[in-house]
A and B are shown apart, each in its own frame.
Chain A
């Protein structure tokens, strides 16, 4: 799954359309849209709103492969879409860093998250500015490793304090930028976290261990051996064969013997 967080409904709309998302009727605290491999939440503006919404999402849905924050930013860079490589909280001066492992073909910029709209002379060259990034990242990084948290920010204007952030101006910029971002987000579905293989079927393992009246320690030892077996090319399922003729009184000992013999069999 890929989750997307946008601050406002306007930013969400192009994704809803491009990714065929439908409003999820089970959630009333937030507007959440789901469909296929994607889920989108409209967080509200500001770092606290963003962090709360991300936490809500991650505590109500299984942890996704990626969590993406997409939205407008300001700054005196050229109009465009940027992948964020560092996020500074202008309140605490603390910085965090997405891992930048995936080969996403977009220019990069550092992002500063502010609690208020900045005046032009507070804006440093080379930086983008938003109000959510840091909250989004910090909340998401409680659940996901930092290589799975991505921020795409788009710039449409460089006069954030000129009071001209009209709906039309934002809407047209968002529509243009979001098409490309949606494609980038779709690309992420090709990159799935390797599934951790279930080494041994749990029901089968439990049945085996229960039959031989294994203690917790013996169960742990057996599980470790079966894991090792898999890495040396042995199929753990073929190793767990219950000998149904063992009398109940002898099973505990038989289990201990089984572990010892299995170890001898597996070691080079």
Chain B
């Protein structure tokens, strides 16, 4: 018996954006949800004392107005793919998927999803940056924006915005199988879809609620059949039992199914996370991923140098059978 309410049983709406057209549009997708008016999103997102994992079992949506910037400089643990002026946008906080290794569990106090609906203010901010220099912007780090496209339509808005700004490069990272939702759009070259792929053994065990490998590959194939060049992210590669067995078969499957000429580049990385996030994750969710005896260096936890090298070398060796070395970015 499931004692929890369905996800999005409640939508909390900040008074400041109650009449915003996006709010009204998003609420139309939830005719059966209970709408609760709130003053400040933090009262629901981060109350005195909450249980992240219980919240994850029955996630709520909080519609809010961003009053400060949502653009942040890219973190050193994130891959910039050689771009200068690397930023990420945190327009949605939290994700409908539930990956055991996800840093959001360490970063946020609660699991409810905050959606800042005033995207137009973020667009203005990006334009202000673009007036100074080109911008490389990742819009789907603290969530999976494509997975939410059916209710938000934000990817479409970002595509349209990107089309107007040639000196902007946007990356939309996803594990979603929902490319069909944006398939009909004219997607410019400076808008890059980046799929995170994992072997099915990893996806099944650690990437809860996310589409399986076949579904992700199908979505990528749809994008490629439109002539779109995509980015592949094999990140994090996990040091788990039998990894050698299944990662090798996995790379072979990915590159035999996809059109190699339509792969912009590939990133590989192993599990790495800030110390404070991991301590928080260990308390909230003790599991194989969080309790692994990582080593610490420069404020981050990761595998030992030897393990990291072993994993990345293995991945690079396998991938370079299909993709030129200069297209493989390693963290």
Contact = CB atoms under 8 A, between A and B. Distances in A.
The answer to whether A and B interact is yes
Interface of A: 85-86, 95-97, 99-103, 108, 110, 141-148, 190-191, 221, 224-225, 227-228, 231-232, 263, 266-268
Nearest to B238: A268
B286 A101 contact: no
B288 interface: yes
A136 to B, nearest CB: 14
Contacts of A191: 3
B49 A142 contact: yes
B34 A268 contact: no
Contact of A227 (B49, B54, B240, B291): B291
Contacts of A102: 3-5, 58
Contact of A86 (B1, B38, B57, B287): B38
A228 B60 contact: no
Nearest to B10: A100
A99 B293 contact: no
B54 A224 contact: no
Contacts of A108: 34
A100 B36 CA distance: 11
Given A85-B34, A102-B4, A108-B34, A268 B286 contact: no
B84 interface: no
A25 B44 CA distance: 39
A62 B145 CA distance: 43
A144 B293 contact: no
Interface string B83-121: 000000000000000000000000000000000000000
A224 B3 contact: no
B34 A231 contact: no
Interface centre among A99, A143, A147, A228 (most CB of B within 10 A): A99
Given A224-B293, A228-B293, A231-B287, 8 more contacts: A85-B10, A86-B36, A95-B39, A141-B49, A144-B49, A146-B49, A263-B293, A267-B239
A264 to B, nearest CB: 10
27 contacts: A85-B36, A86-B38, A95-B38, A95-B43, A96-B43, A97-B43, A100-B10, A100-B58, A101-B4, A101-B5, A101-B55, A101-B57, A101-B58, A103-B3, A144-B49, A145-B49, A145-B54, A146-B47, A146-B50, A147-B55, A224-B291, A228-B292, A266-B293, A267-B239, A267-B293, A268-B239, A268-B242
B257 to A, nearest CB: 27
Contact of A190 (B3, B10, B57, B292): B3
Top 8 closest A-B pairs, CB basis? A231-B288, A145-B51, A228-B291, A101-B58, A191-B3, A227-B291, A147-B54, A268-B241
Nearest to A93: B39
B123 interface: no
B5 A103 contact: yes
Contacts of A224: 291, 293
Contact of B36 (A110, A143, A227, A228): A110
A147 B60 contact: no
Nearest to B9: A100
B284 to A, nearest CB: 11
B68 interface: no
B55 A99 contact: yes
A95 B41 CA distance: 11
